[in-house]
Chains A and B, each alone.
Chain A
Amino acid sequence: MELPQDQPGTRKITETLDNDTGTFLQLHSGVVLAERYQIQDVIGVGGMGSVYRARDLHFPNVIKLVAVKEMINQAPDPVVRKTIVKNFEREANILVTLNHPSIPKIYDFFSHENRSYLVLEYINGKDLEAILKSSLEPINEDQVIIWSIQICDVLEYLHTHKPEPIIFRDVKPSNIMINQSNHVVLVDFGIAKMFKTGQKGTMIGTEGYSPPEQYRGDATLQTDIYALGATMHHLLTHRDPRLETPFSFGERQIRQINPLVSKELETIINTALEYNPADRFANASEMKAALVALARRTGALPRSGSNNLSLSEQDVKPLWWFECEDEIRGTPTVDNGLLYVGSYDNNLYALDATKGQFLWKFATKGGIVAKPLVAENSVFFGSADNKLYVVQARTGKFLWEFLTNGAIHCSPKIAEGHIFIGSDDGNLYAVNISTFQKSWEIHTGGPVRSSPFLTKDMIYFGCEANEFICSDYRGSIKWRYLTKRPVTSSPIVADGIVYFASQDANFYALDAKSGWVIWRFRMAKGSVSSPALGENSLIFGSADNFLYCVDKSSSREQWRYKCDHQVSGSPFIYKDAIYCGTASGSFYSIDYASGRLRWKFISGGAITGSATAFNDVIYVGSTDHKVYAFMA
Chain B
Amino acid sequence: MNNILKNIFKLKKEKSSEQFEPGVTMVQTTPLSEDQLKAVSFANVALRPPQFLIGCGQSVGLQRDHNEDTIFSMSSILADGRNDVPFGLCVVADGMGGHLNGEIASAVAARTVARILINKIYTHLLENNPDPMEESLQETIEHAVNEVQKNVVRYAPGGGTTLTIALILGEQVTIAHVGDSRAYFIYPDGRIQRLTKDHSLVQRMIDLEEITEAEAKNHPHRNVLLKAIGQAEPVYPDVQTHQIPKSGHLMLCSDGLWGVVAEADLYRSISSQSDPALACKEMINLANKNGGPDNISVILVKFQG
**Contact of B32 with A558 in the complex, beta carbons under 8 Å:** no
**Contact of A516 with B139 in the complex, beta carbons under 8 Å:** no
State in angstroms the CA–CA spacing of A521 and B11 once bound together: 12
A213 lies within 8 A of chain B by Cβ = no
A41 lies within 8 A of chain B by Cβ = no
State in angstroms the CA–CA spacing of A210 and B22 once bound together: 70
- Check A513/B243 contact, CB under 8 A, given A457-B42, A518-B137: no
B214 lies within 8 A of chain A by Cβ = no
Residue of B nearest to A517 (CB): B136
**Contact of B13 with A521 in the complex, beta carbons under 8 Å:** yes
Report the stretch among B90-98, B150-158, B166-174 that lies at the interface.
Answer: B166-174
- Check A443/B26 contact, CB under 8 A, given A97-B8, A555-B138: yes
**Contact of B172 with A511 in the complex, beta carbons under 8 Å:** yes
**Contact of B243 with A439 in the complex, beta carbons under 8 Å:** no
State in angstroms the CA–CA spacing of A553 and B172 once bound together: 10
Mask, A85-117, CB within 8 Å of B = 1, is 110010011001100000000111111000010
Mask, B3-21, CB within 8 Å of A = 1, is 0111111010111101011
**Contact of B32 with A439 in the complex, beta carbons under 8 Å:** yes
The interface residues of chain A lying within 8 Å CB-to-CB of B123 are none
Residue of B nearest to A481 (CB): B132
- Check A440/B136 contact, CB under 8 A, given A417-B39, A484-B20, A522-B16: no
B218 lies within 8 A of chain A by Cβ = no
B239 lies within 8 A of chain A by Cβ = yes
Q: Which of A116, A432, A518 has the most CB atoms of chain B within a 10 A radius of its CB?
A: A518
The interface residues of chain A lying within 8 Å CB-to-CB of B171 are 496, 511-513
The interface residues of chain A lying within 8 Å CB-to-CB of B27 are 442-443, 476-477
Residue in B6, B18, B30, B243 whose beta carbon sits within 8 Å of that of A496 in the complex: B243
Interface residues of B in 130-184 (CB under 8 A from A): 132-133, 135-139, 169-172, 174
Interchain nearest-CB distance for B20 vs A (Å): 5
The interface residues of chain B lying within 8 Å CB-to-CB of A457 are 40-42
The interface residues of chain B lying within 8 Å CB-to-CB of A110 are 209
Residue of A nearest to B39 (CB): A416
A223 lies within 8 A of chain B by Cβ = no
The interface residues of chain B lying within 8 Å CB-to-CB of A107 are 1
B129 lies within 8 A of chain A by Cβ = no
A475 lies within 8 A of chain B by Cβ = yes
Interchain nearest-CB distance for A560 vs B (Å): 8
Residue in B23, B26, B31 whose beta carbon sits within 8 Å of that of A474 in the complex: B31
State in angstroms the CA–CA spacing of A473 and B31 once bound together: 8
The interface residues of chain B lying within 8 Å CB-to-CB of A82 are 210
The interface residues of chain A lying within 8 Å CB-to-CB of B24 are 445
A162 lies within 8 A of chain B by Cβ = no
**Contact of B1 with A473 in the complex, beta carbons under 8 Å:** no
State in angstroms the CA–CA spacing of A69 and B185 once bound together: 35
The interface residues of chain B lying within 8 Å CB-to-CB of A96 are 4-5, 8
The interface residues of chain A lying within 8 Å CB-to-CB of B15 are 520, 522
The interface residues of chain B lying within 8 Å CB-to-CB of A64 are none
- The chain A residues found within 8 Å of chain B, CB to CB, are 82, 85-86, 89, 92-93, 96-97, 106-111, 116, 415-418, 430, 432, 439-445, 456-457, 465-467, 471, 473-478, 480-484, 495-497, 504, 506, 509, 511-514, 516-522, 550-551, 553-559, 593-594
18 residue pairs bridging A and B, Cβ less than 8 Å apart: A89-B208, A106-B1, A108-B1, A109-B1, A416-B39, A439-B30, A473-B37, A474-B31, A475-B30, A475-B31, A476-B29, A516-B137, A518-B137, A518-B174, A522-B14, A554-B238, A556-B6, A594-B1
List 19 additional A-B contacts (Cβ < 8 Å) besides A106-B1, A441-B29, A511-B169: A93-B8, A106-B4, A440-B30, A476-B27, A476-B29, A495-B242, A496-B170, A497-B241, A513-B170, A516-B133, A518-B137, A519-B241, A520-B15, A550-B13, A553-B242, A557-B9, A559-B5, A559-B9, A593-B1
